[in-house]
Amino acid sequence: MIIALGASRVERRTLSAYRSREIKECGIVESSFPTGALVPKAETGVLNFLQKYPDYDGRDVTIAIFDSGVDPRATGLETLCDGKTLKVIERFDCSGCGDVDMSKKLTPDEKGNFKGLSGRTLKLSPELIALNTDKDGAVRVGLKSFNDLVPAKVRDNIVAQAKLKSWDKPHKTATANASRKIVEFEAQNPGEASKLPWDKKIVKENLDFELEMLNSYEKLYNDIKTSFDCVLFPTDNGWLTIIDTTEQGDLEKALRIGEYSKTHETKNVDFLSVSVNVHDDGNVLEVVGICTPHGTHVASIASGNHSSRDIDGVAPNAQIVSLTIGDGRLDATETGTALIRGIMRVMDLCRGGRRIDVINMSFGEFSNWSNSGRIGELINEVVNKYGVVWVASAGNDGPALSTVGTPPDISQPSLIGVGAYVSPQMMEAEYVMREKLPGNVYTFTSRDPCIDGGQGVTVCAPGGAITSVPQCTMSKSQLMNGTSMAAPHVAGAVALLISGLKQQNIAYSPYSIKRAISVTATKLGYVDPYAQGHGLLNVEKAFEHLVEHRESKDNMLRFSVHVGASQDKGIHLREGVQRKFVDFNVNIEPVFFNDEEADPKDKFNFNVRLNLIPSQSWVQCGSFLDLSYGVRSIVVRIDPTSLQPGVHSAVVKAYDTDCVQKGPLFEIPITVVQPHVLENVQSTPVFEPTTQRADKSVEFQPNTIQRDFILVPDKATWAVLRLRLSDPNRDNDIGKFFLHTSQLLPHQSCQKLKTMKLICVNSEFEATEAFPVKANKILELCIAKFWSDLGQSHLKYSLEFRGVAAQNPNAYVMHAGRGIHPLEVGVLVAEEIQPLLQLKNAAVVLKPSEAKISPLSATRDVIPEGRQIYQSLLVYNLNVAKAAEVALYAPLFNDLLYESEFESQMWMLFDVNKSLIATGDAHSHNFYTKLEKGEYTVRLQVRHEKRDLLEKIAEANLIAAYKLPNMLALDFYDSYNQCIVSGRKFTSAKVRETNKMLYIAPIAQDRITKANLPAQCAWLSGNLVFPKDEAGRRIALHPFTYVLNPAEKKAASNGAANGGSSNNASPAAAAAVNANAAKPKAQATPQGATNTANSAGGDADTLQKEVPANASGGAPSSPQKGKTSADDYAESLRDFQCSHIAKCELEKAEKIYNEVVAAHPKHLPAHLQFIQNIESTELKTQLPLAFVAAHQKRSSEGDDGSVDKQRDDNSQKQRSALERIVKLADIVIKETDADALLSYYGLKNDTRPDATKIKTNMDKQKNNLIEALSKKGIAVAKLCVLEDNLKEHLAELNDIYTEIIKFVDANDSKAIQFAMWHAYAHDHYGRMYKYVFKMIEDKRTRDHFEELAAINGALGYEHTKAVIDRMTVTAFPNSFRLF
- Per-residue confidence (pLDDT) for residue 1104, from 0 to 100: 46
Cis before 449 (ω within 30): yes
Q: Is 1113 left (phi over 0), alpha (psi -120 to 50) or beta?
A: alpha
Handedness of CA 641, 642, 643, 645 (dihedral sign): positive
Neighbouring-strand partners of residue 241: 232, 257
* 594 Cβ contact partners less than 8 Å away, ≥ 6 residues apart: 384, 385, 387
Please state at what angle helix 1251-1283 crosses helix 1290-1300, rounded to 10 degrees.
160
Cis before 186 (ω within 30): no
- Per-residue confidence (pLDDT) for residue 7, from 0 to 100: 37
Task: Tell which residue, 688, 733, 728, 685, has the closest CA to residue 706.
Answer: 688
Are 1033 and 800 contacting, i.e. CB atoms less than 8 angstroms apart? no
CA end-to-end span of the chain: 60
On the 0-12 / 13-18 / 19+ scale of CB atoms within 10 A, 854 is exposed
CA pair distance 147, 37, nearest whole angstrom:
36
Task: Tell which residue, 1239, 1213, 1290, has the closest CA to residue 1115.
Answer: 1239
| Active-site option among 275, 484, 512, 763 | 484
Report residue 639 CA to chain centroid gap.
48
CA pair distance 663, 545, nearest whole angstrom:
10
On the 0-12 / 13-18 / 19+ scale of CB atoms within 10 A, 1091 is exposed
Q: 3-state class of 97 per DSSP? A: coil
Backbone phi, then psi, for 977, in 5-degree steps?
A: -65, -40
Q: Mark whether 236 is an active-site residue.
A: no
CA pair distance 271, 230, nearest whole angstrom:
19
Looking at the chain, how many residues does it have? 1379
CA atoms within 13 A on the CB side of 940: 31
Task: Tell which residue, 808, 833, 838, has the closest CA to residue 822.
Answer: 808
Where b means 16+ CB within 10 Å and e means fewer, 460-484 reads bbbbbbbbbbbbbbeeebbebbbbb
Q: Mark whether 67 is an active-site residue.
A: yes
CA pair distance 501, 497, nearest whole angstrom:
6
CA pair distance 560, 567, nearest whole angstrom:
10
Helix %, strand %, coil % of the chain (to 5)? 35, 25, 40
* 964 Cβ contact partners less than 8 Å away, ≥ 6 residues apart: 839, 840, 841, 842, 1011, 1013, 1020
Task: Tell which residue, 1319, 1343, 844, 1316, has the closest CA to residue 1047.
Answer: 844
Quick one: how many helices (H) and strands (E) in the chain?
Answer: 33, 60
List Cα–Cα distances, 334 to 93, 369, 1084, 1123, in angstroms: 11, 18, 53, 71
Report residue 913 CA to chain centroid gap.
21
> Radius of gyration of the chain from Cα atoms?
38
- Per-residue confidence (pLDDT) for residue 1054, from 0 to 100: 34
Q: 3-state class of 992 per DSSP? A: coil
Where b means 16+ CB within 10 Å and e means fewer, 240-249 reads bbbbbbebeb
In the chain (1379 residues long), the average pLDDT of successive 10-residue segments reads: 34 38 56 89 96 96 97 95 95 95 94 93 94 94 88 82 88 94 91 85 92 90 88 95 93 94 91 94 95 95 93 96 95 94 96 93 92 92 96 96 95 95 94 91 96 96 96 91 97 98 96 97 95 97 96 93 94 93 96 92 94 96 96 96 95 96 96 91 84 88 94 95 83 82 93 92 90 96 92 92 94 94 94 95 96 94 93 96 94 92 94 94 92 95 95 95 94 94 93 93 90 93 95 94 82 39 50 42 36 36 41 42 72 87 86 88 89 79 86 72 68 87 92 90 87 90 93 92 90 93 91 93 94 90 93 93 90 92
Per residue, the 3-state secondary structure of 669-738, as one string, reads: EEEEEECECCCCCCCCCEECCCCCCCCCCEEECCCCEEEEEEECCCCCCEEEEEEEECCCCCCCCCEEEE
- Per-residue confidence (pLDDT) for residue 219, from 0 to 100: 86
Task: Tell which residue, 63, 59, 56, 60, has the closest CA to residue 544.
Answer: 56
Are 348 and 868 contacting, i.e. CB atoms less than 8 angstroms apart? no
Are 1348 and 1363 contacting, i.e. CB atoms less than 8 angstroms apart? no
Please state at what angle helix 1358-1371 crosses helix 198-220, rounded to 10 degrees.
70
Task: Tell which residue, 459, 364, 365, has the closest CA to residue 420.
Answer: 459
Q: Is 1361 left (phi over 0), alpha (psi -120 to 50) or beta?
A: alpha
- Per-residue confidence (pLDDT) for residue 684, from 0 to 100: 85
- Per-residue confidence (pLDDT) for residue 1149, from 0 to 100: 86
List Cα–Cα distances, 1045 to 5, 238, 980, 1003, 1039, in angstroms: 95, 62, 19, 11, 20
Are 839 and 970 contacting, i.e. CB atoms less than 8 angstroms apart? yes
DSSP state at residue 1303: T
CA pair distance 1074, 1070, nearest whole angstrom:
6
CA pair distance 756, 750, nearest whole angstrom:
12
| Active-site option among 208, 270, 275, 294 | 294
pTM for the complete prediction? 0.88
* 902 Cβ contact partners less than 8 Å away, ≥ 6 residues apart: 336, 374, 893, 942, 943, 944, 949
List Cα–Cα distances, 472 to 149, 296, 354, in angstroms: 11, 11, 30
Q: State the CB neighbour count (10 A cutoff) for residue 903.
A: 27
Neighbouring-strand partners of residue 419: 460
Q: Mark whether 1112 is an active-site residue.
A: no
Residue 1101 one-letter amino acid: D
| Active-site option among 67, 208, 448, 554 | 67
